[in-house]
Structure 1
Amino acid sequence: MGSTYDYVIVGAGSAGAVIAARLSEDPDVRVCLLEAGGPPPPAELVPAAVASLQNNPATDWMFNGDPGGVGKGLVGGQMMVPRGKMLGGSSGLNYMAYVRGHPGDFDAWAAGGAAGWSYEEVLPYFRKAEGFVHSPELDSDLAMHGDDGPVGVSVRQPILPASTQFVEAAGAAGMKQGDYNGRARLDPQGVASLFQTTTKDGRRSSTFHAYLEPAMERANLTVVTGALVERVLLEGDGEVTRATGVAYRTEDGTHEEVAAGTEVALCAGAIGSPQLLLLSGVGARDELADVGVDCVVDLPDVGRHLKDHLHTPLMFAADGIGETMTEVAMSLGPDALRAPAGPLPADPADDVDLPEALAGLKAEAERRIGEWFTTGRGLASSSLYDAVAFFSTGLGDEHTHDAQIGFLATGYTPSIWEGVFRLPPTAFFADPEAFLDPSRAQVVVLPNPVQPHSEGSVTLVSADPAVAPRIELNYFSDPHDVQVMVAVMRKALEIAKAWPGGGLGEPVIPPHLAQAHGHVAGSEPSDALLEDFARHYAITVYHETSTCRIGEVVDPRLRVHGIEGLRVADASVMPNVVSGNTNATAIMIGEKAAELIATDHGVHLRELVG
């Protein structure tokens, strides 16, 4: 056994970085944090550069999943499952939407047996994490926010006209404007707003920047990067099984072990945490035997009950409304304009002889990225996923809003559509090069059912931790989800028709689907067409949860059933997915888990809120 620490934490992501930073507030506690990735690259700080981080092996695990009842039109037929592989984890990879969920989500958790997880009980942890910056463009419910927490929460500056128009159109479609992270979320009519994002001064506020970066100089915190964790070390005498440490593999292939004197905390996310439990012999006995893993604790629900959100992109031509990709690229600086995709030379050394027009383009790009760097303002200050609406379809799940509609103020490029989203432009558009011309503007309205009834799974393919697990996403296995998706798509079309100035016009209907359903431009799409659209082109919102959920795998204090000294603390413990983007809740889970560990073992945190 190598070095010994009081606590070993696996995964420096949305929850793990929080726990490591909080526990190391006590100078008498020794904490080791293991992360498979490395420090985030400079582009991670730039919100509008988010697409460059996905599908990049340096920052993304690049998992793939079987999409089940959707994905008929995806490139390769597999759904991408982006997961952050760097300090900060998926909080450094996501589109930065800060959404707590509906209060009823958490009350339902508590009513189902997750004692201590009601909305009233988790709200202090949301507020502890949050450094909210009020904006005059928001109708903020200030009493529900925290203003001195480490995670920056703000609205992009400047506000894009298209985003305020979305909120206005949602209002015309029946939703009130308000603070969806405040009491307005309880309104039965729904609520629409500009997105609150995990940004501070126009820069991404991942858990690396918010928690870990300031804590890394502490002598009692050891952060090990490039550490592929192979298994949790478990010891038992026949009656009691205890976690004693972790085995991991370094980037050069060396096998190392680190001992945990008090606890091991798995914070590897809804894919990684169940995979590590299974590799450690914690799971369904028969399935472990199939891949040659000895079962230590027979816990059949490990990796089960996977939940995720889907949205179906409804795209509109929007000259004069949306942001062109030319403008977005210019705001990211000269490097975003370089060949082969852009007009500037691939090698900056060749800029010396630029024609006057290109020299002016480069100068403007330098000015814009300089403005963002010094003031935090500009197109670069947001992922352009900038507004949202929440409401109920009336089809069930009365405890919460079951629907979300997001708004993306740009249309991206053919290469991003195919390479990142896996949507083939040649099938989706009649003329992709013309429609997605970088000098033309588009917007995307994203209908998203947020209380899916379908469940998937994460299982082992191999006992080798370097082999990705099998991810069965199983979308639309429950017919209820299809019905809700069609209803949310209809509401999205209603918002588009209510757009200020006479509506957004016709959404893009993929030509092969229009032909198959006899759809004529200008006519109302049938339910069958909308369902087929979703089955072909709905894509993940990257919100995997519930694979180690409270009840079946961990108790309400996040301790793994049947094993002492082992907890799971990340999105996998959610009893059900929240009704909205999941990152804020994952951070809250990290805050609450740190306090649970501290109170169980006498660790002195600077502040206790529970």
Structure 2
Amino acid sequence: MFLKLFFTLSILFIGSISSDTDEAVVETVDIQEENEIPNSFKAETRNGKLLFSYPHSPIVDMVVQSQSAHYASKNGDFFEFLRDPYPLPDGLKQPLQEYDFVIIGAGSAGSALASRLSEDRNTTVLLLEAGRTEMLLTDIPALAPYFQSTDYTWQYYMEPQPGVCTGMQNQRCFWPRGKAVGGTSVINYMIYTRGRPQDWDRIAADGNYGWSYNEVLKYYMKSEKANLKGFEKTYHRSRDGVMPVEFVPKKTKLVGAFLEAGRILGHPTVDYNAPETLGFGKVQVTQSGGRRQSAAKVFLHTHKKRKNLHIMPETPATKILIDSETKIAFGVEYVMNKRIHAVRARKEVILSAGPIASPQLLMLSGVGPQEHLISKGIPVVQDLPVGKTLYDHICFPGLIFTLNKTGISFTESRSLTIPAFSDWLRDGDSVLSSPGAVEGIGYIKTPLSGDPEPVPDIELIAIGGSIVSDGGPGDSKAVRRGMKIDDKLFNEAFGEIDNTDTWSAIPVLLHPKSVGYIELMNDIPFHHPRMVGNYLTHQIDVATFVASIRHIQALADTEPFKKLGAKVHPAKFSTCQGTQFDSDEYWECAVRTLTATLHHQIATCRMGPVGDPRAVVDPELRVHGVQRLRVVDSSVIPRTVSAHTNAPAIMIGEKAADLIKGTWGIPIKF
């Protein structure tokens, strides 16, 4: 019976995101006064009701209608009973007026930080989060791409930029970020990477004391609970933490071909998180038994009954309260029940809202570039280069190889079945445990790398399929829609191989020379900021992508892939007419057509010592010139790193907890 219910709900969920635009089911909330409602919530109003829209699906209509007599949500959220609740203790209906620490944002860093600070029962912590709590369906790794188009994601878009994302909807780059208790760790592909030792040693060498590789390693290890078939027994891994790190239980034969091809070209099969050697390896993910382990699940869920930890989902912060004369942060304004409330922090306010929302909230609170804040009518508290630096990891998913073997790759039509759900529910051992078909990671240095040390300039993400694997009749096409690829362009380029057996390796530019920035659109906290990526404005970034494509082609030309009949698909991009297929010019155009982010924006609240003209926080994450205010998330990372940013964000939360405890004399557990 439970399996039937779960399968119905899963199909309901999948169907509910199959369209990006059509409105069907809505939730309603009474409107008291128009100016009390956050603008980001104002999808539409009718007859004095505020409407929250879900994408159209006949299945949604049918199920909601059939269930309406049996289930009534208090807030109109049909999925409410599937979500993980975080009730306040002792019957409280709203937060207290004062806490020791107020943390804004329950993402990867914020979840870890709140958990560690509240270990001391005499320390009170309020954790504010704009998004909802995760639910049963977010535990399924294979559904990762589906969540890009749901209310678990901030629907951010980069400002239009000529020459990039030309094949995306409206020719704009999509920047989804997690909007949930757990942040982006609820919607990401769960890939666990730490970065090279040189990345962190260089950060420390810039004057950021305490951030060398050996110093951050202990915080990676503090969180980690590794089960990696022997790798966890090495000195740099840990089995004693709370964050599971495992191999994916279900893989295709394609990952074996990828690793063998790598060895042929001189890339050893290794633990790619080991500090000694660059190489290729099976992907390591934050899973346990085939189920997603978000930061919320491992750091908050098991501690939700702590009376000194109050967690407030769907409670967006709107302003950090700072005394303009003393420059001391003393509280936070937030929205609850459509009204503005304030809470005081006895010790510190800690901003953990991520690389987009953290700089936005700082600037809204008067901390940022003076000239820019004045232009938006915001009184300046502290002139700092907030948002002036932005790095991002971008990738190219359009290099696809067809195969002459059938049934060898992942496809949605073969994966989303009742037996697969049954296997996953029972023991996690089914294709649903695959994080969007990601199977392997490889680090390479292209001929264009000028780095004298073993630091890669490209990461290869080996897929047991490709972006056409979601495309059978009636399938959701969630991957391409999650990336916001234009349907017409996609069909012209890949329609003839849709839903066939394929292999791809996605190149990721690890150390871009191109630098972007973030600034405010206006002084309204519920409007998205203005985000400028400046992707591929430095020619070396373009050339590095082309070099990585040549390397992937060399991998596909080795015997392991020849046995599978691997041949590069000559995609006909309408944006690249006039270029000869497989020329460097063609591949540059292709990269500019399908330019996708990996959600790894950093440096918008850049860390640096006193005197660093680009620094927003010091090496102890304290905002320069403002007392009792810190930023604790991936926005503080000052340099590009050879890592997906989820594990570094958790490490930052762990390290920040000890820094804060040390400041206030709170006992430190290690």
TM-score over 0.5 for the pair: yes
Return the alpha-carbon distance in structure 2 between the equivalents of residues 259 and 594 of structure 1: 20
> Could you say what secondary structure the match of 1:105 adopts?
helix
Question: Are 1:131 and 1:146, in contact at CA under 8 Å, matched by a contact in 2?
Answer: yes
Residue identity opposite 1:381 in structure 2: S
- Letter aligned with residue 550 of structure 1: M
Q: Which of residues 423, 446, 461 in structure 1 aligns to 2:485?
A: 423
1 CA distance for matches of 2:249 and 2:341?
46
Instruction: Provide the residue aligned with 1:269 in structure 2.
Output: 354
Structure 2 distance, partners of 1:182, 1:192, is 11
Cα offsets for 1:492-541 (capped at 9, x unmatched): 1211222615152123423436642133xxxxx22111111111112111
| 1:375 lines up with 2:427 in the alignment | yes
Q: Pick one of 185, 204, 210 that aligns with 1:91.
A: 185
Distance 1:511 1:431, change over 3 A: closer
Of residues 477, 480, 500, the one that matches 2:560 is 500
How far off its partner does 1:290 sit? 1.6
Structure 1, unmatched stretches of 5+, are 331-364, 520-524
Report what 1:109 is aligned to.
203
Who is 1:248 aligned against?
A: 334
Of 317, 327, 339, the match for 1:229: 317
Q: Which stretch of structure 1 is more off in the superposition, 150-159 or 503-512? A: 503-512
Equivalent residue letter for 2:594 = Y
The alpha-carbon deviation at position 368 of structure 1 amounts to: 2.3
Give, in angstroms, the shift of residue 458 of structure 1. 1.1
Paired residues for 1:551-590 under 5 Å: 551=608, 552-590=615-653
Q: 1:431 to 1:123 in 2, by over 3 A?
A: closer
- Answering whether residue 122 of structure 2 is matched by residue 28 of structure 1, we say yes
For 2:463 and 2:272, locate their aligned partners in 1 and report how far apart those are by CA, in whole Å.
18
Q: Is the 8 A contact 1:270 1:571 kept in 2?
A: yes
Aligned residue for 2:656?
593
Give me the whole-angstrom Cα distance separating, in 2, the residues matched to 1:446 and 1:549.
28
Post-superposition shift, 1:141? 6.3
* Root mean square deviation, CA, Å: 1.8
Structure 2: which 5+ runs fail to align?
Answer: 1-94, 472-476, 609-614
In the alignment, is the contact (CA less than 8 A) between 1:192 and 1:390 conserved in 2?
Answer: yes
Q: How far is the alpha carbon of 1:170 from its aligned partner? A: 1.9
User: Which one of the candidate residues 498, 517, 529 is aligned to 1:457?
Assistant: 517
Report what 2:244 is aligned to: 152
1:147–1:206 Cα change, 3 Å: same
After superposition, the C-alpha distances for 1:102-161 in whole angstroms (9 at most, x for unaligned) are 11100110111111101011000000010100226xx66622111121111000113321
> Is 1:53–2:106 an aligned residue pair?
no
Counterpart CA distance in 1 for 2:143 and 2:244 is: 18
Q: Tell me, what secondary structure is at the counterpart of 1:144?
A: coil
In the alignment, the residues of structure 1 paired with residue 219 and residue 97 of structure 2 have an alpha-carbon distance, to the nearest angstrom, of 32
What residue in structure 1 maps to residue 386 of structure 2? 302
Is 2:118–2:125's contact at 8 Å kept on the other side of the alignment? yes
Alignment partners' CA distance in 1, 2:514 and 2:576: 28
Identity %: 34
Q: 2:411 aligns with which of 304, 324, 327?
A: 324
Structure 2 residue 157 is the aligned partner of structure 1 residue 64: yes
In 2: Cα distance, 1:499 partner to 1:571 partner: 41
What are the within-5 Å matches in structure 2 for residues 98-247 of structure 1? 98-135=192-229, 142-183=234-275, 186-187=276-277, 190-237=278-325, 240-247=326-333
* Rounded Cα–Cα distance in structure 1 between residues aligned with 2:440 and 2:200: 24
**Corresponding residue SS for 2:235:** helix
The whole-number CA distance in structure 1 between the counterparts of 2:250 and 2:546 is: 34
Report the 3-state secondary structure (helix = DSSP H, G, I; strand = E; otherwise coil) of the residue aligned with 2:251.
Answer: coil
Q: Which moved more, 1:168-177 or 1:42-51?
A: 168-177
Q: Which moved more, 1:307-316 or 1:497-506?
A: 497-506
Cα 1:508–1:323, aligned 2, differ >3 Å: closer, same or farther? farther
SS at match of 2:259: helix
Partners of 1:25 and 1:585 in 2: CA distance = 21
Residue aligning to 1:489: 549
Shift in CA distance, 180/222, structure 1 to aligned 2, threshold 3 Å: same
Deviations 1:145-199 (A, max 9, x none): 111211110001133211222111222222111011113xx43xx3001100010
- Distance of 1:142 and 1:379 partners within structure 2: 29
**How big is the shift at 1:209?**
0.7
Q: Which has the higher contact order (CA 8 A, sep 6+)?
A: 1
Say which of 378, 396, 408 aligns to 1:312.
Answer: 396
The answer to whether the 8 A contact 1:460-1:470 is kept is yes
Amino acid aligned to 2:188: N
**What CA distance in whole angstroms lies between the structure 2 residues aligned with 1:288 and 1:80?**
26
SS of the aligned residue for 1:17 comes to helix
| Structure 2 Cα separation of the partners of residues 515 and 431 of structure 1 | 12
Q: Please tell me whether the aligned partners of residues 109 and 649 of structure 2 are also in contact (alpha carbons under 8 angstroms).
A: yes
- Deviation, 1:28, is 0.3
Corresponding residue number in structure 1 for 2:605? 548
> Is the Cα contact below 8 Å between 1:2 and 1:257 reproduced in 2?
no
2:154 is paired with a residue of what secondary structure?
A: coil
Q: Distance in 2 between matches of 1:18 and 1:297?
A: 28
CA 1:248–1:479: 2 relative to 1, 3 Å: same
On the 8 A contact 1:447/1:485 being kept in 2, the answer is: yes
Whether the 8 Å contact between 1:324 and 1:442 is mirrored in structure 2 is: no
The answer (yes or no) to whether the contact 1:110–1:116 under 8 Å persists in 2 is yes
Deviation at 1:225, TM superposition (A): 1.2
Supply the AA of the counterpart residue of 1:247: E
Matched residue count: 554
Match of 1:346 in 2: none
Q: TM-score scaled by structure 2? A: 0.80
1:436 is the counterpart of 2:529 = no
